[in-house]
A and B are shown apart, each in its own frame.
Chain A
Amino acid sequence: MARALINVPPTAKPGAIIEIKTLISHPMESGYRVGLNGQIIPRDIITTFVCTYNGEEIFRAELSPAIAANPFLSFFTRATVSGTIAFRWTGDNGFSVSESAEIVVE
């Protein structure tokens, strides 16, 4: 079960700069390690992270094999209107997790 921790301030003043923090559970297996049987452990990583604010993309990251397990991403955006901030992680072996958080701007 892939779990994600999202931290979005529940409320913000219009125009305020807010920090968004995300953490997701994932092994981020690099594809370069050798298992106990001498075989290469196949790559299994998250490749893309996208954040949208009321449907509009505000942040995107491409992840690579050198990134540690359970990737933590934090970034800033400007709170404009109330709405939904949605997160989507996609990766190898059909990995896909979506989360969202509501923000009230007033």
Chain B
Amino acid sequence: MCRLLVAGLLLWSLAAAAEIPLAERRSGAAMMGPDLRAMQEDDSANPAGLWLLDGAALWSRRLGEAGQSCADCHGDVTTSMAGVAARYPVVDLAGGPPMDLEQRINLCRTTRQQAPALALESRDLLALTGLVARQSRGLAIAIDDGPAAQPFIAAGRALFLRRQGQLNLSCAQCHDDNWGRHLGGAVIPQGHPTGYPLYRLEWQGLGSLQRRLRNCMTGMRAEPYAYGSAEAVLLELYLRWRARGMPMDAPAVRP
């Protein structure tokens, strides 16, 4: 009897951890009030615009040993970077681990510009990431899920399903099983990263998806993944794949 019950519970928990059907996915923007949505969509009211101004200045600043700016290679950001952010994180064709947009920008800095990498979560890196992500607004998230990427997506999903922290929670328990319900006063979103880096009112600033993940993990009383760590990028990759086909709204505004 006891064994049956355990088996039943196990089955239930497996069933409950099912992915959200593609057609039922909703972005966090759809769960916000009309005021916040208006703030996000109005370029002169979206505070992320301040970071975009910084990003545009950085884009054309020559620096490093190579004395080159982003614009020297890539030209106009609005054309050269259109749709680029929608593809990140990408899996290295040589079979290396996935790389997110922040890491890609830093790779360009260190190899092409021969300048020191920007600190993860620094204002300058967020400004450049925001500027690049802005060029994918309205485009569908298109993560490459070919054979090379499959093991990494699966590893990210395993992290998403893994219970952790003193509350012994997995990401899936809130964002697959209980989205739409309330956690305190806030609606639990499905957790689709369509708008990063985004301006979160709680932060009063622009922040990356990894910062958001760290917030969640602190709330679960788990040890947050370090910025740029392998786990953080794998989880990022899985979440972006999970939101495949959804339109980008970066840089978004969220409560």
Residues of A within 8 A of B (CB): 1, 3-7, 21, 23-25, 27-28, 68-70, 72, 74
Stretch at the interface among B42-50, B150-158, B176-184: B42-50
B45 near A3: Cβ-Cβ < 8 Å: no
A70 near B45: Cβ-Cβ < 8 Å: no
B44 near A5: Cβ-Cβ < 8 Å: yes
Q: Is B144 an interface residue (CB 8 A)?
A: no
A69 near B50: Cβ-Cβ < 8 Å: no
Please, which residue of chain B has its CB at the minimum distance from the CB of A28?
A: B204
| Given contacts A5-B44, A7-B44, A23 and B50 within 8 Å (CB-CB) | yes
| Given contacts A5-B44, A21-B44, A23-B44, A69 and B54 within 8 Å (CB-CB) | no
Residues of chain B with a CB closer than 8 A to A70's CB: 47, 50, 204-205
**10 closest cross-chain pairs (CB), A and B:** A7-B44, A69-B204, A25-B50, A70-B47, A21-B44, A3-B53, A3-B50, A5-B49, A5-B44, A68-B204
Please, which residue of chain B has its CB at the minimum distance from the CB of A24?
A: B50
Residues of chain B with a CB closer than 8 A to A7's CB: 44
A15, B42: Cα distance in complex, Å:
25
Q: Is B201 an interface residue (CB 8 A)?
A: yes
A9, B44: Cα distance in complex, Å:
12
Known pairs A21-B42, A23-B50, A68-B204. 19 more at Cβ < 8 A?
Answer: A1-B54, A3-B53, A5-B43, A5-B53, A6-B44, A21-B44, A21-B45, A23-B45, A23-B47, A23-B49, A25-B47, A25-B50, A68-B201, A69-B204, A69-B205, A70-B50, A70-B205, A72-B45, A74-B45
A24, B201: Cα distance in complex, Å:
15
Residues of chain B with a CB closer than 8 A to A24's CB: 50
Please, which residue of chain B has its CB at the minimum distance from the CB of A26?
A: B50
Residues of chain A with a CB closer than 8 A to B53's CB: 3, 5
